[in-house]
Structure 1
Amino acid sequence: MSKQTAISKKTKKIIPEEIKETTFLLTDDNVMEFFLEYDKKHKENKVRITTDFGEIDIKLFEATKFHRSNFIYLTKKKYFNNTQFYRVINNYIIQGGNSDDQQTLNKRKKIGRYLLPNDHKKGFKHDRGMVSMPSSAVANPYKMASPFEFFIVQQHGGAHNLDGDYAVFGKVVKGMEVVDKIAAVPTDKGDWPQTNIYIKKIEIIE
């Protein structure tokens, strides 16, 4: 057997596994089973958001298993890196996880198209510093969540008008002063910051 033949056979053996790994996509049909299993093996519950204004540490709640697991999964996939806080309303919320960059859309396509199962009825309120997830913009009677985006309640006294409609799945444990700085930036009529506010990275710290 020539050296060239041996290399070709080895290459053929490796490629199917690589294809299998890169073509897995989350869908509405497999998301519940996937994250129930993911929750058993991935127990990380604290992340750090690095922004242009500083760092924000967030603790994720074990009780909201679908949302916690999803956030950890996307963090490990480096989805949030170089996305933005794209909706900012002072004394209300800052919302991130999206961008007008084509790379963000490409990353979403590689992860899948899905909504998260309902994690609303866990007793968590939209107090100041809580982290929540917006519902999908599509017709959505079960209030399933759009998995790629999140918002932090910045309003003093909380934003309890949101209770019951959106799933609180974590809280800021350090860096609310950074949230306040972001919330105070000038925005356009659509609440998009006049200067882009990048999420440089989100990383797991515990």
Structure 2
Amino acid sequence: MKSFSTLKSIALAFSLLACISCNQQTKNAETEAKAPKTEADPDTIPLNSANVKEVLTAYAQKHPDSIAVISTRHGDIKVRLYKDTPLHRANFVRLTKSGFYSQGEFYRVVKGFAIQGGDSDNRTMIQTVYKVPQELNRKYIHKKGALAMARYGDDQNPDKESSSHNFYIVQGRKLDLDEIRAWEEKHGIKYSPQEIKLYQTIGGVPSLDNEYTVFGEVIEGMDVIDKIANEPVDASNWPRNAVPHTIKVQ
């Protein structure tokens, strides 16, 4: 699954004021020496490859939000964000609170697989270019309703880092035991009886396990996923009738 985004970098302008007299310079130096140092606000710092982990870690501590509501013309999808994937949770909450996700839509819909959102051709808000470090966690599988982040493939992205903003929700399908065992062998994992039951009863996409970071799950509105997945799409899996979304945290 690839992340499709068109991002622009933000240019910052700085100005330098010159002191007029030696007395002013001395006074300013004394004032600066006494002034307490302030930490940068993780709410507003532009993210980049160098600071993304540090900033999102600080943001996660400041914003413990764990419930978000994705609203669409088909209804609402309520998701729970996992505490033990703090970078992805913080990134999702940060983009939500900034209003970035309220300019997105479900732009890639593959019935029996997943619905992907976060981006839009009509977006006016921009952000810096960055990727979120992967937080692969064996205990989270791609069952129906799993919330995960898209990313570029291993050839371009061997560290499996996530997209800055493109997320997806699994629809999937029900699997039989032989299919599940085949994915166990391919990925070198062993599903628990509970996980096998989930894949057999509600379905999912085990081919994505241990490949993409799952950081939450749907707790209400599973029927909305099915409605969006049933949207007619073009050859690029883009819905013929736009499915915009707005997101708020609770």
Supply the AA of the counterpart residue of 1:154. Answer: Q
Equivalences for residues 1-206 of structure 1 within 5 A: 24-103=45-124, 107-109=125-127, 112-136=128-152, 139-156=156-173, 157-199=203-245, 201-205=246-250
Identity of aligned residues (%): 36
Would the aligned equivalents of 1:63 and 1:122 in 2 still touch at CA under 8 Å? no
Partner of 2:26: none
Distance in structure 1 (CA, Å) of the matches to 2:111 and 2:229: 5
Distance in structure 2 (CA, Å) of the matches to 1:22 and 1:39: 10
Deviations 1:40-62 (A, max 9, x none): 11100000011011100000000
Q: Which runs of 4+ in 1 moved over 6 A?
A: 20-23
Partner of 1:14: none
Relative to its length, the structure with more strand (as a share) is 1
Unaligned runs of 5+ in 2: 1-40, 174-202
With normalisation by structure 1, the TM-score equals: 0.83
SS at match of 2:159: coil
Distance in structure 1 (CA, Å) of the matches to 2:243 and 2:70: 12
Distance in structure 2 (CA, Å) of the matches to 1:87 and 1:198: 12
| Offset at residue 38 of structure 1 (A) | 1.1
Select the structure of larger CA radius of gyration.
Answer: 2
| Offset at residue 101 of structure 1 (A) | 1.4
| Offset at residue 121 of structure 1 (A) | 2.9
Counting matched residue pairs gives 180
Query: Superposition RMSD on alpha carbons, in Å?
Result: 1.8
Check 1:77–1:102 CA distance in 2 against 1; reply closer, same or farther (3 A cut).
Answer: closer
| Offset at residue 84 of structure 1 (A) | 0.7
